[in-house]
Structure 1
């Protein structure tokens, strides 16, 4: 695949900026224009950050599966190494090196991925559904009496954050800080400070779980035979949060938009939730552009020159809409789209991610059966950013209903063991606070996670 650029070849064409509102409003139009000129095109991910975007399906699959000519390690990134990208650039939290599954190759990648996949495999589907349902009820109760809500920021954004706190075994204080810092990173609010806080609370969680292991992903990673260090544990948890929270929020939000859209095409009318999820994964994948690779040498990608050690970003959204896939896309064939990636770095959590979205959507549609968009579907706004396909908001209206769903879930404890054992009181599983405890903590404003734990003690 090595490529010698011919002498006199014209310079790179003008780059498509992927960080503005124009791209967010019509990314598919941009992908079509790029694809008309070749399987890849020059883009600007953010100010100062140049890359090549792969929009052709065959070229994307080829890069994803090729471990000989491409590396996932961003320490090869020439522009960053030469100081041409500022350290506060908004895309660095998603692109800078961390020793986790996303940014490693070869034996190192296999070792880290083994710990992650084995730990995720211990999450059975029944447990995931049982963990999602009370969180959904808690969030719906917070707005159901109003008759109006923003399903993106009131529901789809918060549910994955709270769920991951539960799956990681977070106590209240750490969970509140984790939720806040992850939200800030994804929203682009003071990312450097948020990243420092995220690191701090995860290291506290790891220290706690080394002392008091539980039935949670953090403890399973610690106990895995590969023997992850604290630094490696922290970065696998950051990767799991990043790979789970933002995509899950967008998968839920984008599918709800489709299900509630009944315009002239009536595409949402009568569609099953599973069909809506497949439609989103094909046409508006939650992470639309990512899986950055770095060519080990100058390469020819279907006639497109790509310089060594420069970012080569895979467009899942662009590749999925390649005209060569027209038949597979019309049938929504699950095996053909690239929303979950491909090759050695393919997403290891397809089934859990699908079950989380399916359960969350079922819960909101069952709780509010007359749920309807509060604005025309073609007027919703999309959040700018080069990597995601994300709504900025999803305003809806419905008949106000009492917030009694959480109370309905409080049933007598089952005689059989639950999916999450209840150990003796500890910082990870605090007792229900009595009056003295409440008085001592009355001055601290509760976050979403500690408020949830006050209701659902595990």
Structure 2
């Protein structure tokens, strides 16, 4: 483990990244209109801007599409290994800061590069592929029907709170070999970890306890599930690696799929022509999903990369050991590639929503399957489904990492 010195928690004082008017990416001024924040940062700093995240931890936020690609595709210059992070090594960032649940080093594949990364990612990818072929569509349809049954007789619902917020986690409980009764509380704990704040540490501990108990049980009672796949993989993950990969997949898969499902439903229900084309079979849902991943990716900001040497990125002079955050939403809207928002989205998969390079999301196929089946079941179960408020009344709330739809009120005829 890298040796550290200790000088107390991180602050902007004396930190080279924070010089030049760093913007806080948390707090009331950034929770409702991140697009305006990104636009202002781009005007003031160009493609790479100095920011502070929760705990006033300094970082560079990469706003440009091309600059994001450079960081994502070049692990020799921009490592995923947080043990080279200068502010942490020199003791300016404490391990018990809530933000460390997102940016700190862990014994998982997203914290490694090179051969260690390939070994661990191979175990995750193989185990995900195995469960993806074991009735995932049936599981999604089953839990979607159960969710819809709870509100079908009311003639109205909130498709965020009543459908999208929990459905992915319910499917994941089946894929992991967990009891479905754990789904709602695990979804809430995952959301707390992503949002940060003092509760993040408590909820992360709760997730780790449940997953530790799951791994212990599956060692004695193996099954056709993701947990058993990791335990028996030829890469021979140790106990700590097993636990942290269960955590990684559970939190990221739920968060990204839940947010993406809500945004896809928003895109469908705020455009009557699109809804009619989808119901009539004239439009493929995959096209809607791609458009949403360009305009409102499920993770707005991706943590984190660490510069392996002094270098120039955009107009920023990045120092060795600096932390960089990938602005996926900002990069997708970069006016350099989308002047006035224009770009052909039909069949265009070059968005940043699932990252890029060696750390590109390995579970995106499962996420797509959950969304496509969930929307199909919803539209077939509730003919006449329509938005219950004007589209402009819909609001979002952002944390550093995500910008989630607050609610999606709908109404429909009761049969």
Fold conserved between structures, TM > 0.5:
yes
Structure 1 distance, partners of 2:362, 2:108, is 14
Alignment of 1:191-270 (within 5 A): 191-262=200-271, 270=277
Q: Secondary structure at the match of 2:302?
A: strand
Corresponding residue to 2:22 among 15, 19, 37: 15
Q: Secondary structure at the match of 1:215?
A: coil
2:350 match: 336
Q: Deviations over 1:390-414 (max 9, x none)?
A: 112222222235xxxxxxxxxxxxx
Corresponding residue to 1:106 among 101, 108, 114: 114
Shift of 1:148: 2.1
2:372 match: 358
For residues 10 and 152 of structure 1, do their structure 2 counterparts lie closer, same or farther at Cα, with a shift above 3 Å needed?
A: closer
Shift of 1:356: 0.9
Shift of 1:184: 4.1
Alignment of 1:423-442 (within 5 A): none
2:362 match: 348
Structure 2 distance, partners of 1:157, 1:312, is 29
1:400 match: 414
Could you tell me which runs of 5 or more consecutive residues in structure 1 were left unpaired when the two chains were aligned: 1-8, 402-458
Could you tell me which runs of 5 or more consecutive residues in structure 2 were left unpaired when the two chains were aligned: 1-15
So what's the TM-score if we normalise by structure 1?
A: 0.79
Structure whose CA Rg is larger: 1
What's the RMSD between the two structures over aligned residues?
Answer: 2.5
Structure 2 distance, partners of 1:10, 1:308, is 11
Structure 2 distance, partners of 1:173, 1:400, is 28
For residues 126 and 172 of structure 1, do their structure 2 counterparts lie closer, same or farther at Cα, with a shift above 3 Å needed?
A: closer
Shift of 1:269: 6.0
Corresponding residue to 1:384 among 398, 403, 408: 398
Contact kept in structure 2, 1:292 and 1:314, CA below 8 Å: yes
Structure 2 distance, partners of 1:71, 1:306, is 13
2:4 match: none
1:26 and 2:33 matched:
yes
1:288 match: 300
So what's the TM-score if we normalise by structure 2?
A: 0.87
Structure 2 distance, partners of 1:55, 1:113, is 27
For residues 298 and 141 of structure 1, do their structure 2 counterparts lie closer, same or farther at Cα, with a shift above 3 Å needed?
A: same
Shift of 1:259: 0.8
Contact kept in structure 1, 2:287 and 2:347, CA below 8 Å: no
2:140 match: 132
Contact kept in structure 2, 1:125 and 1:355, CA below 8 Å: no
Shift of 1:110: 1.0
Structure 1 distance, partners of 2:335, 2:17, is 28
Shift of 1:143: 1.4
